[in-house]
Structure 1
Amino acid sequence: MNSLTSAAKGRDARIQPLPDFAARLAREIQGEVLFDAASRGRYSTDASIYQITPVGVVIPRHQDDLATALEIARGEGIPVLPRGGGTSQCGQTVGEALVIDASRHLNGVVSFDKEARTVVVEPGIVLDHLNAWLKPHGLWFPVDVSTSAQCTLGGMAGNNSCGSRSIHYGNMVHNVQALDVLLADGEKVHLGLVDELAAGSRAARLAEQVEAIARREGERIREHYPKVLRRVAGYNLDLFDCQNPLPYEADGRANLAHLLVGSEGTLALTRQLTLKLSPLPQHKVLGVVNFPTFYQAMDLTQHIVTLSPTAVELVDQTMIALSLENPSFRPVIEKALIGKPEAVLLVEFAGENRDELLASLARLNELMADLGLPDCVVDMPEPKAQKALWDVRKAGLNIMMSMKGDGKPVSFIEDCAVPLEHLAEYTDKLTEVFHRHGTEGTWYAHASVGTLHVRPILDMRRDGAEKMRAIAEEASALVKAYKGAYSGEHGDGICRGEWVAWQFGETLNDAFREVKGLFDPDNLLNPGKIVDTPKMDDSRLFRFPGEYQRIELTPALDWSPWNVERDPLNGEQTPPGSGRDVTGGLASAVEMCNNNGHCRKFDAGTMCPSYRITRDEKHLTRGRANTLRLVLSGQLGRDGLASDEVKEALDLCVSCKGCKRDCPTGVDMARIKIEARAARVAKEGVSVRERLIGDLPRRAPVLRRLSPLVKAIDGMPWLASPLKRALGLAEERALPRVTDDYLGRARQGERPAVGDQAVKEVVLFVDTFNNYMEADNAEAAMRVLQAAGYQVILASAADRRPLCCGRTYLASGQVDRARAEAERTLAALTPHVEKGLAVVGLEPSCLLTLRDEFLGFGLGEPAKRLAEASLLFEEFLVREKDAGRLELSLEALPVSRALLHGHCHQKAFDALTPVQQVLSWIPELEVETIQSSCCGMAGSFGYEREHYEASMQMAELSLLPAVRDAEDALIVADGTSCRHQIRDGAAREARHVARVLAEALA
């Protein structure tokens, strides 16, 4: 197949190719076979600027599936493209081929030899997961790339990945001992040290042929291969040149596996990898060197590396500024800064002796003073602070991509590597190139080895491709002048493939074709990569080609903050024109996803709970964003947000807002889901279940009178089960019961009197759930606030109906009714806000709606002022105590241990820390926070019949096991849904922090 021509034809993911091929795959393998338009669309992109719709996708369940899929594809003449995390930045993992995704099932540890320090793994295992498995043994795999939470070892071998500490540990090729592969004809072959291969075997014959090519081209190899560590272009023929032994290998013995490292899946399919391991460093210290100018940072790196650090990583001014805008990263980066530096270098020392490392840190301070920059180093000797800062650095790419607007930092020259003595001059001249073309570059990454990830800011919808070509040609001339490497880390793929011949010359390029022919004579393995590649600026392959259009739609929410233009030279972002420009803003919000796959992580943060239980690309923030982008650009039909593809992709989204915080580019899938639900409701109307959910706050008084009846029905399964089925509710759940009306009682004078000492005022926003279902929480909050000396105002609307945030309407797609509730609530609270009073709430999802969704209704400055005045109960207490206005006398509780579960929205708004703080005020109480993602209840999600099983799976990931294991602990959870899930899943009562504090009042 001609990948260029058919890629252009196959851009529309609706085209359904080769049904017989798909049917045979489905019959003969046990894994998944995905040939539907949406799935193919989700696999048409990686973290690059390219998009090519694949023929189909296979997710093998075991090794036999891998071999069978290859056999069937070979028989049909269909190319095969192996894929791991899909995080490649040059287009290696996109193509018109059968994509084989090994990440879901082929991800195990096959064997481990602690004494030999080796491990055998399947290609789909994620680096962080492997290192977590190895940690108890005191070992790790040290090629620590920034995407370690989501990249797979197979993909790392395919790209010859490097990582932050390559100056000490080398690249991937230096740490792979052997590979077990499937050749293109299906033969299973073990590739290892050439002198240990069985005589006459297929592997031995291949080795002989490769060595013959290397001998023949030895002179040109020594002339054209760059002499820098970071050199990953082409095939590794230099490793078979006897006069050019492999660095980091004491004996320099040729290893046939090393030819396939960096081959991008073009020579064989990897079944297993044998990896060399390193001792896990016992101690690390970090020095953050602040530089007044970027040039100084680059110029002085060559002196810093003489101290033998394990890493020297750059963070530039742009990345610093963007990190300061991110609520997750801001407190971390602030601690690393001295004044307003143009750049900082993270200099790490690691080893067994902490005192020696501290001495190295002291030498770094002395060196910088000798170089004319005294007092420019922030010492970070403690692991917690180091990890937090490294997490920011590892998110560097995504932070850079968080720029709003059509102009984005584009990857195509970012991995050029030059010798350190030329680094400052190279970066200076390259900056001049950018300026000549009216743009600016963002810089970060591996200063220690002369590889700086630089991305010019280009708009690929307009003149980006033209500028990309011009900048690449000028950059390549600089690289050649400084005897550097054009591909220094992230491989060739599409964006750098055409430069392989430029780097090595036509004769060596022909030798690469010869190597490709030895392993894959029919050109079926990831064709069009490394040899015979397309042009980097062929617009037919772009994710955003010149003809890219967004469909017309009228969003329900205000998306104008996303619809901005950026001046690349000064970084300013401004809305285009004036007024509420929302149509483009919604699409821009979706397009914030750069496909880097940060959401694929499992063991940190809250994102993404549905992916954690399914490991399905469809139920991933990235997969959803890709689906939405294809829909909003008309590539998946013309139904827009109301399409079945969108409904399926968002089906398991629990609106946890984990992506709002954890996604460094700020993809807000919870808000986007509101738009999608609204579009679906506009198309199909509101179902009975959705109407019941949405109207819950309005119907609560009636439901209160029916509470005895509801209780009786729940006690009669023969009646309750069919009723729940008819309503679409899970039979396993008890029907929600409305049993109280706290505000009603308060208005009748049952509210406790306020003492004469009260001189301070605060507004208590009592939400539907804490008013009608768990009034004990509202009463407890009132007691605590009064005990602290506050006059508590229970705000109400003119119609005396309790205020409502409208969240139940938002969850059911009734945005207009939610907006009406917001306007009503805003009218009631604005007079208090204008007096300077805080509005305090108890339920995170409700109170934080005032800070989030209210801003999306286009309600202007009053909504912004309310958002600024709205605080969760514990946030208010911490603020007042820090200001010296709060005194609260607390006594020890009968229990000495508390287990805290954070509501997802608390985590998304960094509001869990205040809960931990107020609990610490209780004497003799030890507080432990459960490291959990979403509880799985998520409002009505866990009550819905079709979602009950997924709801419980999410809870069982970490929350429920932790609760069951803590029989002697007090369980604290502020979220109504969370408390209900804990009760249903672990038969334990969880309490709101207000109740805990009230019980501890002296």
Structure 2
Amino acid sequence: MTSLTDKSVAPDARVKPVTELAARLSREMEGEVLFDHAARGRYSTDASIYQVMPLGVVIPRHQRDLTTVLEAARDARVPILARGAGTSQCGQTVGEALVIDTTRWLREIVEFDREARTVVVEPGIVLDHLNAWLKPHGLWYPVDVSTSAQCTLGGMTGNNSCGSRSIRYGNMVHNVLGVEAWLADGSEGRFGFFDELPLKGRERQLAERVKAIAEGVSAEIREHFPKVLRRVGGYNLDLFDCQNPKPYDPQGRVNLAHLLVGSEGTLGVSRRIKLRLSPLPAHKVLGVVNFPTFYQAMDFTQHIVTLDPTAVELVDRTMIDLSLENPAFRPVIEKALIGQPQAVLLVEFAGEERQAQLASLKRLTELMADLGLPGSVVEMPDAAEQAALWNVRKAGLNIMMSMKGDGKPVSFIEDCAVPLEHLAEYTDRLTEVFHRHGTEGTWYAHASVGTLHVRPILDMRRGGARKMREIAEEASVLVRQYKGAYSGEHGDGLCRGEWVAWQFGEPLNEAFRAVKGAFDPQNLLNPGKIVDTPKMDDERYFRFPVRYQRIPLTPLFDWSAWNVTRDPLTGELGEPGSAGDATHGLAMAVEMCNNNGHCRKFDAGTMCPSYRITRDEQHLTRGRANTLRLALSGQLGEQGLADDAVKEALDLCVSCKGCKRDCPTGIDMAKFKIEARAARVRTKGLALRDRLIGEMPRYAPWAKRFAGLLSAVERLDFLAQPLKRALGFAPQRRFPAFTSDFLGEYHGTPALAAGEVVLFVDTFNNYMEGDNARAAKRVLEAAGYRVHLNLKPGERPLCCGRTYLSSGQFAKAKDEARRTLDALMPYVERGVAVVGLEPSCLLGMRDEFLQYGFGEQARALADAAMLFEEFLVKARQAGELTLDLKPLPGRALLHGHCHQKAFDALRPVEQVLSWIPELTVETVDSSCCGMAGSFGYEAEHYDASLQMAELSLLPAIREADDDTVLVADGTSCRHQIRDGSGREAIHVARLLERALT
């Protein structure tokens, strides 16, 4: 076992064979071969509590690469571990092995038969991507797990995943028809229906051997296999039960592929998987039942399922409260609540006839009244409302893990399944167990099938492992008493492997070992899972063992808000640590990443643009957080945040803050990058390019004076191109044009008006695009406001410090922020709003300014700081805005700046544009434009910048006709649109100015 601080290529005993293996793979593979410590560290964890350093990582480009990997690993006698999205919660996808990541390239749809309702896929395809492809055909794959935006079909097959609607559709094992897999001996097995297997060959040999093993323990199978739908422990030997030979197939046929489902990659490596599809239901309705007590929610579930719902999902009070703390989830969950419920059940009905589903919803309301809870159901027949609430439920795990502090909800008994008639009593008694051990549990998930995800809050660094063992032992007694399954959904892995023998008995455990031996006699396929597993509390495998240490460093921001304690019984937070404790606060903020992989999604939201163009774990929010955690705990060496591995991991981070909004655990990689960039500058120094970027606000006035000369140089390629290359800028980009000085043009006292406002004009809108500031000033004055400008005669214009932060010059950024705060406080103190035009500048007052240690003054400025359109919307809602606008017939295409999206500040732009008569507005569903300040100007990032723009923004612009007005509030966004499409975008203030009567 590798230690937490191991810096070698691999454990000493395997250095030579692993080094030779890496060399061979590098020669023979077309995909990626990663054996450096940082890459291995990023694959050493999944969504469980465990960390095991792999021997190496390979990313095969095609099936030939996969064959090469298996052959080379077998020759070297090196174990292999096939991994999907790395979202396993029991440690199935961590191990001292060669990890195979199939998610980048092995994700094709191989065959599709619409009439037969079947599809064949490669293991790396993501469930949501498959269902998006199937939707036009009226079909879907119905094992709808909460991680559907990132989980792969290969991983789901390995884990025998279940979903919210398993009461209607079953688990993976009920919906897999066949598996083509590479076996440990190098042969390819095609596993399907037993009676269709070839009479000779490896598949038939294995089938007959497994059948014989199963028949030898048939009595134990009937006695010890749990009789609940949710049962995923061990191997599915009951498929050969001679008295009940058809537990998984509706036609009653034995299918050997079902043995591989749930085998956690210990029997074969999936090559292709054949799936049974289902028709998409035409209509869905949702009823949200509010319960005054948690016990009632559990007790009434058995009655609700008699109405034949497709799903009955639990959200408990803890999850409700955490959802209310998340700005993205708050408005959604509020619509579902009646008063202060202790729990809610999401009850869905689906089918072909809408009236039938509405009738079911009415019966639910009547049932709850009959059970003594009249008026407890919030009816949601609207599809959009349903989808929004389901997204909150699907984010349940991440919401639970958003608790601050070292104490976290820990997964180890989280999906024990019991029959519904015992559910209320089981949960009540398990809660008593938690209380005896001084903690509380968080509950959510699949009430319909008796599987509730419960996670006791434990601090694994301080006695958590002992409590975990004690709680598990008491919980197991309850599960056995109620004839349930100890592993109901998330598999065995490192967490529940030792409980397989307990659940099934020693004869069945020996049978499982015989199955493993038949398929993998050399124990090369994901060893240590299902059979011969370690103890669940073996500290050598923990991500945060007692010996875990954070290296000493002094962060630049104040991270003390993250350095908190939480009462495990009440859930109440203690007082945040002082600013002097901010060292731990930074590490604790990084450690909020629970590896669930929500950032791997592609189809919605802003996160994560660099992963979307690379599909590389290194350039993923999760991968970066893991790299930072390794650095902050000394596992990458002595340089900490200044380490080369940290620089490489953050290289394509565009500081879009998409993770700040979309990550349910609150990871803010943009802020982490500021800390890392500054640490790098302190250690390595500042490059000339970075100095030019950072000092732009200071030299902008001089650049304006020499604008003509700079423009002439730009037109002369023989001068401009070498100059750009020498400075490290992309020669394809034009230098910014300093063509205005808006603040320098205005002097004197602003005209008197009923209201007043400060217009904060940033460097970009002052010296590069002064028309935006002029338009904003004119609109504000037309609305009846006295406009103050952020300039005093003889002084340099105020600056938020953003360019200094992005270039690693933290001290200068803080000085600029302090100067700005001091200048604006007289206005703030008398209640005057501070209005800005550039999102990244203005929103810094609501973000970074709060962590400089400026105290209450920073909070007051944050409350007063608004973007131009936010101010207008707020004034109109207060009845203080009069703005006469004339019609502008036509269409506007709106692209939101990343920080607008992160702070939920894009909707005000849409609202303001909706005030313009006869203007149709469409918002591009885009991630980062790719320019991201200086990022798109840097030579090494030019290609990545345009690839980000091509994800959705530039294609949407090309589809728009020439008369469509392009609206983008961000300076970088407008420049990217111009460079990428040749079209000009304007700030919303300029469009409003056009509409003034």
TM-score bracket for this pair, using the shorter chain length: over 0.9
Distance 1:401 1:14 in 2: 32
Q: What is the aligned partner in structure 2 of residue 679 from structure 1?
A: 679
Encode CA deviations 1:820-851: one digit per residue, 9 max, x unaligned.
00100000111111101111101000000000
Distance 1:609 1:577, change over 3 A: closer
**Within 5 A, what are the aligned runs for 1:225-624?**
225-247=225-247, 249-575=249-575, 577-624=577-624
Aligned with residue 806 of structure 2, among 811, 817, 823: 811
Q: What is the aligned partner in structure 1 of residue 669 from structure 2?
A: 669
Q: What is the aligned partner in structure 2 of residue 179 from structure 1?
A: 179
Distance 1:263 1:747 in 2: 75
**Within 5 A, what are the aligned runs for 1:802-841?**
802-841=797-836
Q: Decide whether the 8 Å contact of 1:797 with 1:828 is kept in 2.
A: no
Give secondary structure in 2 for the equivalent of 1:518: helix
Q: Decide whether the 8 Å contact of 1:13 with 1:636 is kept in 2.
A: no
C-alpha RMSD of matched pairs (Å): 1.2
Give secondary structure in 2 for the equivalent of 1:898: strand
Distance 2:639 2:561 in 1: 25
Aligned with residue 994 of structure 2, among 973, 980, 999: 999
Q: C-alpha displacement at 1:12, in angstroms?
A: 4.7
Distance 1:421 1:899, change over 3 A: same
Q: What is the aligned partner in structure 2 of residue 215 from structure 1?
A: 215
Give secondary structure in 2 for the equivalent of 1:496: helix
Distance 1:962 1:665 in 2: 31
Q: Decide whether the 8 Å contact of 1:796 with 1:828 is kept in 2.
A: no
Give secondary structure in 2 for the equivalent of 1:300: helix
Q: What is the aligned partner in structure 1 of residue 707 from structure 2?
A: 707
Give secondary structure in 1 for the equivalent of 2:922: strand
Q: Decide whether the 8 Å contact of 1:297 with 1:345 is kept in 2.
A: yes
Q: C-alpha displacement at 1:799, in angstroms?
A: 5.6
Give secondary structure in 2 for the equivalent of 1:47: coil
Give secondary structure in 2 for the equivalent of 1:186: coil
Amino acid at match of 1:865: A
Distance 1:805 1:411 in 2: 43
Q: What is the aligned partner in structure 1 of residue 784 from structure 2?
A: 789
Give secondary structure in 2 for the equivalent of 1:572: coil
Q: What is the aligned partner in structure 1 of residue 932 from structure 2?
A: 938
Q: C-alpha displacement at 1:9, in angstroms?
A: 7.7
Give secondary structure in 1 for the equivalent of 2:747: helix
Distance 2:482 2:700 in 1: 74
Q: C-alpha displacement at 1:786, in angstroms?
A: 1.0
Distance 2:250 2:577 in 1: 63
Encode CA deviations 1:355-394: one digit per residue, 9 max, x unaligned.
1000000110000000000101111100100000000000
Is 1:871 the counterpart of 2:866? The answer is: yes
Distance 1:284 1:557, change over 3 A: same
Amino acid at match of 1:959: L
Q: What is the aligned partner in structure 1 of residue 773 from structure 2?
A: 778
Distance 1:759 1:239 in 2: 79
Distance 2:196 2:335 in 1: 53
Q: What is the aligned partner in structure 2 of residue 907 from structure 1?
A: 901
Distance 1:590 1:419 in 2: 39
**Within 5 A, what are the aligned runs for 1:922-933?**
922-933=916-927
Distance 1:792 1:13 in 2: 63
**Within 5 A, what are the aligned runs for 1:855-894?**
855-893=850-888
Q: Decide whether the 8 Å contact of 1:167 with 1:448 is kept in 2.
A: yes
Runs of 5+ unmatched residues, structure 1: 1-5
Q: TM-score, normalised by structure 1?
A: 0.98
Distance 1:745 1:163, change over 3 A: same
Give secondary structure in 2 for the equivalent of 1:135: helix
Q: C-alpha displacement at 1:245, in angstroms?
A: 3.8
Q: What is the aligned partner in structure 2 of residue 3 from structure 1?
A: none
Distance 1:720 1:999 in 2: 36
Q: What is the aligned partner in structure 1 of residue 796 from structure 2?
A: 801
Distance 1:309 1:768, change over 3 A: same
Give secondary structure in 2 for the equivalent of 1:573: coil
Amino acid at match of 1:831: P
Q: C-alpha displacement at 1:460, in angstroms?
A: 0.5
Q: C-alpha displacement at 1:254, in angstroms?
A: 0.4
Q: C-alpha displacement at 1:10, in angstroms?
A: 7.8
Distance 1:577 1:390 in 2: 36
Give secondary structure in 1 for the equivalent of 2:233: coil
Q: Decide whether the 8 Å contact of 2:239 with 2:248 is kept in 1.
A: no
Q: C-alpha displacement at 1:698, in angstroms?
A: 1.1
Q: What is the aligned partner in structure 2 of residue 972 from structure 1?
A: 967
Distance 1:322 1:856, change over 3 A: same
Q: C-alpha displacement at 1:247, in angstroms?
A: 4.1
After superposing the two structures, state which structure 1 stretch, 656-665 or 965-974, moved more.
965-974
**Within 5 A, what are the aligned runs for 1:734-745?**
734-745=734-745
Encode CA deviations 1:115-155: one digit per residue, 9 max, x unaligned.
00000000000000000000000000000000000000000
Give secondary structure in 2 for the equivalent of 1:296: helix
Q: Decide whether the 8 Å contact of 2:755 with 2:785 is kept in 1.
A: yes
Distance 1:13 1:964 in 2: 50
Q: Decide whether the 8 Å contact of 1:299 with 1:424 is kept in 2.
A: yes
Distance 1:797 1:191 in 2: 78
Distance 1:829 1:428, change over 3 A: same
Q: Decide whether the 8 Å contact of 2:561 with 2:577 is kept in 1.
A: no
Distance 1:26 1:248 in 2: 42
Q: Decide whether the 8 Å contact of 1:231 with 1:487 is kept in 2.
A: yes
Q: What is the aligned partner in structure 1 of residue 201 from structure 2?
A: 201
Distance 1:248 1:101 in 2: 29
Distance 2:714 2:951 in 1: 29
Amino acid at match of 1:106: L
Distance 1:213 1:652 in 2: 52
Distance 1:747 1:388 in 2: 50
Give secondary structure in 1 for the equivalent of 2:285: strand
Distance 1:346 1:315, change over 3 A: same
Encode CA deviations 1:924-970: one digit per residue, 9 max, x unaligned.
11111101100000000001111111000000111001001102311
Q: What is the aligned partner in structure 1 of residue 911 from structure 2?
A: 917
- What is the count of residue pairs matched by the alignment? 991
Distance 1:10 1:677 in 2: 24
Distance 1:452 1:798, change over 3 A: farther
Encode CA deviations 1:754-806: one digit per residue, 9 max, x unaligned.
4x6x2011111111111111111111111111111111111335862111000
Distance 1:831 1:673, change over 3 A: same
Q: C-alpha displacement at 1:856, in angstroms?
A: 1.3
**Within 5 A, what are the aligned runs for 1:70-219?**
70-219=70-219
Distance 1:859 1:15 in 2: 47
Distance 1:193 1:785 in 2: 73
Distance 2:710 2:163 in 1: 59
Distance 2:550 2:792 in 1: 41
Distance 1:687 1:797 in 2: 33
Q: What is the aligned partner in structure 2 of residue 764 from structure 1?
A: 759
Distance 1:101 1:392 in 2: 29
Amino acid at match of 1:609: P
Is 1:951 the counterpart of 2:945? The answer is: yes
Encode CA deviations 1:653-687: one digit per residue, 9 max, x unaligned.
00000000000000110000000010011112221
Give secondary structure in 2 for the equivalent of 1:516: helix
Distance 1:999 1:181 in 2: 64
Q: Decide whether the 8 Å contact of 1:395 with 1:664 is kept in 2.
A: yes
Q: C-alpha displacement at 1:690, in angstroms?
A: 1.0
Q: Decide whether the 8 Å contact of 2:10 with 2:55 is kept in 1.
A: no
Q: What is the aligned partner in structure 1 of residue 955 from structure 2?
A: 961
Q: Decide whether the 8 Å contact of 2:45 with 2:543 is kept in 1.
A: yes
Distance 1:799 1:343, change over 3 A: farther
Give secondary structure in 1 for the equivalent of 2:413: coil
Q: C-alpha displacement at 1:249, in angstroms?
A: 2.8
